[in-house]
Amino acid sequence: MQELCSDVDRVNSLVTVHNTTYCSQETSSSVGADTNDNGRLSNRILLADLSRQKMNLETLNHLLRLAHSRDIKGFIRKLAWAQNDPDNPMSNRRRLKSKNIKNLPCLLALRAPSNKNLSMISGIENKDVLIDIHAEWNRIERLSNRLRKRGQIHDVIVVGRGVIMASLQFVYDALKHDYYAEKETLLDVIWDEKRKSRNQRLRRRMKFISSLDPVAISNVLSDLKPEHSVVVSISMFGDEENDQTTMQVLENWLCYGISISGSKKSESVHDHIFAVTCCTNIPTVAKPEHTFIIPQHSRYEAFTTFTSAGLLPLSIVFGWNIVLDFLAGAHDMDKHFVETNPRHNLPVLLSLVDIWNDAFLGSSGRVITPFSESFKTFPSFVSAIESQTCGRAHKNGTVDFHKSSSSATVIDGGLVGIYDRMLYQGGRVIPSELLISMETQARSSRLLQLTIKGRLEDMKSHHDALICSFFAHADLLAFGTRPGTNTSKDSFNPYNDKNISEGNRPSTLLICGHCDAFTCGQLIAMTEHRAIITSKL
């Protein structure tokens, strides 16, 4: 690794950067287009540094030839265009089609903007699915705005399991300290009787129930009030029986709580329950206007984040403008995925590195270590989606996700580096993936309240130190340490042979500008595309 990283041309060639400029929904409606609102209207960056992988430029060229032999460019083009004018994609009416791709969900359609004159003809239903998707967006916006204006809903309880729960947990954890998203969770200032002041402010929260374990359910409900809560039930294929059992418990909890709370007589349990399901014949206690049916073209569980299952709870908690930023980030990654050559295509390059490590170097997995609190549940999401998606493809080139099997294991490295010793000294080399944002979320009002006199500069300096630790961790994996080379008491003891790292352990660095809704959309879309390409290869 020392020799590989000493080649400056190689290092520069293995760093891929995706830049884009985006004006948030909130900023675009309140400030001029040429205004920079502290990063809200700014250049967005997403960087992947592959220079610490055990590969040279010749290796990368061989992997790109592998991708060419598997017709990855054609596969991506079919995801976007299919048979509609493939020689001239920029026609008068741009069409995103999924025809003739067996069992492939309409990923790009789920976040295609409504004002770009796009359409997507589903090979399953043979109609323009964007019409129904955008109508569903409008419906979610109306419902969430109505709930938020009432001001009585403080908590959203999401019942379900699988990828959708992992993605919602990741986005919620990432945005609850974002300055703009956090402002959207704030409720009215309330009177604090003990302090005789109005300092206390309530925030909307999201809670998750994925288990029938009574202890898990009671832990979620322990600090919630039924009259201030709504339940969103997400039922995918095979989950209906367990979800119905959980919903019976929650329905009883809502009935009892609302009856003794003195709420309005016109209010019922059905006003507090929303259902998202794939099956029209499954009975639900939700009212028809509170029931959402996932369409046939998007019923694969691994890619339901941008359906009503993901957008509805996020819109209730953070508001529709934040959700639009989230969708815009995913659409931006879709454009990069479709329009960029594989040599500079982030999802394709990351997938090729996975193939190199797993199929050729025998690693059988990787460890993802988030260096920011906001990304702490991102490894769980990646693990969930890849375990369902990465598998074998048919000989004719179509992907059958329903018969896939995981080809590698994704391990959550944890914020505190719980696997450090295994990564540095384990007998089997396991590639690492390190994730961080260049800017801190310290602007959050909740975080500033915890500092002495709100000293934001101190928190920024701490984040700078965290970034230094990020790169030091990658260097230690790559180059190792020897006795006498490091005397820091916070690192490996250089005089203790048990703490000597030999290095030569590959890692990928993923760096984003700052963590907000747009970036979350980019990361989720990138993970989905990466999994699709891996399954194709």
Q: For residue 66, what are the CA distances in angstroms to 51, 60, 339, 355, 393?
A: 20, 10, 19, 10, 15
Q: What's the mean pLDDT in 163-179? A: 92
- Cα–Cα distance, 86 to 73 (Å, whole number): 12
Of 4-18, 172-186, 257-271, 282-296, which gets the smallest average pLDDT? 257-271
Structure tokens at 353: 């590195």
Share of the chain above pLDDT 90, in %: 31
Band (465; pLDDT cuts 50, 70, 90): confident
Q: Which amino acid is at 145?
A: N
- Cα–Cα distance, 101 to 76 (Å, whole number): 11
366 versus 392: the higher-pLDDT residue is 366
Domains of the chain (ranges plus CATH)?
Answer: 150-318 (3.40.50.10490)
Of 153-167, 236-250, 287-301, 475-489, which gets the smallest average pLDDT? 475-489
Query: In the prediction, which pLDDT does 99 show?
Result: 38
- Cα–Cα distance, 402 to 143 (Å, whole number): 33
Question: Which pTM value belongs to this model?
Answer: 0.85
Going by C-alpha positions, the residue among 283, 309, 314, 281 that lies closest to residue 294 is 309
* Residues shown for the chain: 537
Going by C-alpha positions, the residue among 27, 150, 76 that lies closest to residue 517 is 27
Residues 6+ away with beta carbon under 8 Å from 242:
161, 212
Q: Strand 201-203 and strand 291-293: pairing?
A: unpaired
Decide if pLDDT at 195 tops 80: no
Of 215-224, 280-289, 427-436, which gets the smallest average pLDDT? 280-289
Quick: pLDDT tens for 67-126.
999 989 888 887 776 544 445 443 333 444 433 344 444 678 888 888 777 777 765 566
Mean pLDDT (the chain) is 78
Share of the chain above pLDDT 70, in %: 72
Query: In the prediction, which pLDDT does 170 show?
Result: 95
Query: In the prediction, which pLDDT does 302 show?
Result: 81
Going by C-alpha positions, the residue among 220, 191, 216 that lies closest to residue 205 is 220
Contact assessment for residue 241 and residue 222, using Cβ atoms and an 8 Å cutoff: no
Decide if pLDDT at 292 tops 70: yes
Of 30-34, 322-326, 334-338, 432-436, which gets the smallest average pLDDT? 30-34
